[in-house]
Structure 1
Amino acid sequence: MAAPTVDASPTEPPKIPYLSYTSGRALSTWYPDTLALLREAQTLEKEGKTNEALEKYRDAWRLEPYGNTYVELGLADARAGNMLPCARNLQTALQGWTRQLDFVRPVELVREVFSHCKKSVGAIAIKINVPDVRVTIDGEDVREWPYFSEIYVEPGKHTVKAKKDSYWMNQTYVEVGPGERKPLSIAMQTKYDTHFVGFSRPVNFSVNANLATGGKNEEPTWPTKLMIASGVGIGLGVGAVVTGLVMVNNAESKSAAATWTGIAAAGGILTGISLTGLIIGVASRPREPSVIIQPSVSNDGAGVQLTGTLE
């Protein structure tokens, strides 16, 4: 983690002129209802009714939450001495600024005021190992990282929480001073869920495989191993099919019935794959084996006995 930085440049506030909301540029930028609110806000501000004026600016922002309205609200906050909302509003405006979508005001003025406001607040520069993480600071919801490279806060100690589905919540404490930029690295960890399936009655599976081979070591051993594995797979597959079908009939809910149907289907697939493996193993033996597969089914369980001799 890099050392925090502090902006120690001069703090002379820039001159922020009022904007003419009757100019052709303003008329082509905002809707009439928004312009009416901006004019009313400016009148209140000139009369010294700062709080009422800021509320009108916010009403205009609610109607048109776009770059130019963010600028007007941020500049009004700067004139009122509210440096944190000024920094946040101008940050949002500059985030989406392009030369094709220029501001009504000069972008140089917006950047100058933005730099001035940042000197009175702290900045937390967040880096996270995964995208689309929701970040809250002291319970206040901020935009998803990495929409902002820096999050502005009042100087002091803050609680930073990072949240994302399927990840554990990360909580960190950060203390930052005025004009200080403090890097913060957050490592999100994947959350693993474990699910258990309960059986309403005892279910027993039994598999007995007995495959004896002759004494010729030069013969390949993989067919024998494949047959053993296939025999085990057949036993498990048949047991799952029978158990699933039995339990479906006794299921007390649709969700339970669907679960047992899935188990039965999986058992059928496993049985088919295992039979294919057994056939391949038998066909690959240099000498024809003698193999007997004998399933055993009861009301509460199923099993399979696999016996044979490979000569």
Structure 2
Amino acid sequence: MNCRSLAVLFTAATVMAAADVASAQPAAPQEAPASAGDAVTRADAFFRRGLRLYSDKKYVEAEKELESAWELNPTFDVAYNLGNTKYQLKKHREAAKYLSFALRNWPLVKTVAKLKPTAEQRFAESRAQVGAVTVTVSMAGAEVLVDGKGVGRAPLEGEVFVDPGEHRVEAKHLDYEPASQMVGVAKGATAEVKLSMAMVKAAPQASAGVKTEGDGSAAGATGGGPVVGQPPAPVAPPPPLPGKSWVPAIALGAASVVGLGVGIGTTVASNNANSEARAQKDQIFVAGGGCLASPSFAERCAELHRSGERAGLLGDVALGSYIASGVLAAAAVTYAVWPVTSGEKSRALLVLPAPRVDGLGVVMVSTW
């Protein structure tokens, strides 16, 4: 995760709570970006313009900016804002699509938790106006099309939202025969489509004389039967790797900020406790007493001892919080730069420091 993603997450969440729009990450223009960093920068510009236009209730203009952001970097926050914009424009099918994506990828961050009920309500309203199709394809990696328009590659995540009526669902793959099915979908209903794809049959090769080693004769010329090569069976390519989800990086970065805040707070508390202990010690000294051989100062010395212990404990908690914050920040950066190497669905992991009276712990929450 980069600093921009975390900053936008918290900043946009604050803006949206006031303007009825949620936070979102960037996404895409018409031309290919020169680099990933350039794409994020451009997407952020589209995103911020879209938020301002939405706040001004210029929904058509906001829709265009947010769609450009989505093309560059499709993430939950862009999906939430774009879904809200489509909802305002009464484009129910598209609103359901983006709000569904946002809800499936909602981060475990309290800052945006209060926005989730709005997303759920608007998704339910939009979903009631359209139909949906769940598509299962026997060949992973096959392109799925609805009415000739691509909607992704198998296996699809979530439903495909469509207008009520008849629709043609197709699956295509280079090494397999296309499969299709017509399906009727009613408003608010869901239809299930299962497509089974058969491997393309290889055309047999023509018989030809094959020259043999050693005697220079040809099987076709000497009367021997022609040798026909057996074509190799086509091998299905592996399914394409999914795009990286930024939810774990956002969660780790947020946890790092929490750890840093705990560390700063406990450092201040530890310093205050140390100051209090020093003041108690000075009072005992001014009164002419001491804690080694002055029974009359036993109660004051006991209080001084407790203050010192409290300062030490708070210092230990602060140190642990700083360490946890650094580890979480390093984990967020590592995740952000680590390449995707498998087709497994990414998992969102949230790690939070948990200060206690007797020390510091770590709480981890993971979602599938």
What TM-score comes out, normalization by structure 2 length? Answer: 0.45
- Using CA pairs below 8 Å that are at least 6 residues apart, which structure has the higher relative contact order? 1
Partner of 2:349: none
Return the offset for 1:59: 2.4
What secondary structure sits across from 1:131 in the alignment?
coil
Matches within 5 A, 1:136-151: 136-151=145-160
Using the alignment, how far apart are the partners of 2:216 and 2:78 within structure 1?
Answer: 65
Gaps of 5+ in 2: 1-13, 27-39, 226-368
The structure 2 residue matched to 1:184, chosen from 193, 210, 217, is 193
Aligned residues: 197
- Secondary structure at 2:94's aligned position in 1? helix
Match runs of 1:1-311 below 5 Å: 19=16, 34-99=43-108, 106-199=115-208, 203=209, 241-242=212-213, 300-301=221-222
User: Which SS does the other structure have where 2:84 is aligned?
Assistant: helix
Residue pair 2:131, 2:188 contacting (<8 A) in 1 also: yes
**CA–CA distance in 1 between the matches of 2:111 and 2:137?**
31
Distance 1:197 1:132 in 2: 32
Contact 2:46–2:68 (Cα < 8 Å) also in 1? yes
In the superposition, relative to structure 1, how do residues 300 and 146 fare at CA in structure 2: closer, same or farther (>3 Å)? same
Compared CA separation, residues 77 and 104, structure 1 to 2 (3 A) = farther
Q: Report the Cα offset of residue 246 of structure 1.
A: 5.6
Secondary structure of 1:120's counterpart equals coil
Task: In structure 2, give the amino acid aligned to 1:122.
Answer: G
Quick one: distance in 2 between partners of 1:129 and 1:165?
Answer: 14
| Matched residue SS, 2:174 | coil
Give TM-score, length-normalised by structure 1: 0.53
- Looking at structure 1, the residues matched to 87 and 201 of structure 2 have their Cα atoms a distance apart, in angstroms, of 47
Q: Tell me how far apart the structure 2 counterparts of residues 195 and 243 of structure 1 sit (CA, whole Å).
A: 28
Cα deviations across residues 67-103 of structure 1 (Å, max 9, x unaligned)? 1111111111112211111111122233334537985
User: Please, which runs of 5 or more residues in structure 1 have no aligned partner?
Assistant: 1-16, 204-238, 248-296, 305-311
The residue type equivalent to 2:221 in the other structure is D
* Compared CA separation, residues 242 and 92, structure 1 to 2 (3 A): same
Which is richer in strand? 1
- Is the CA contact 2:23–2:80 (under 8 Å) kept in the aligned structure 1? no
2:23–2:81: 8 Å Cα contact kept in structure 1? no
Q: Percent identity?
A: 20
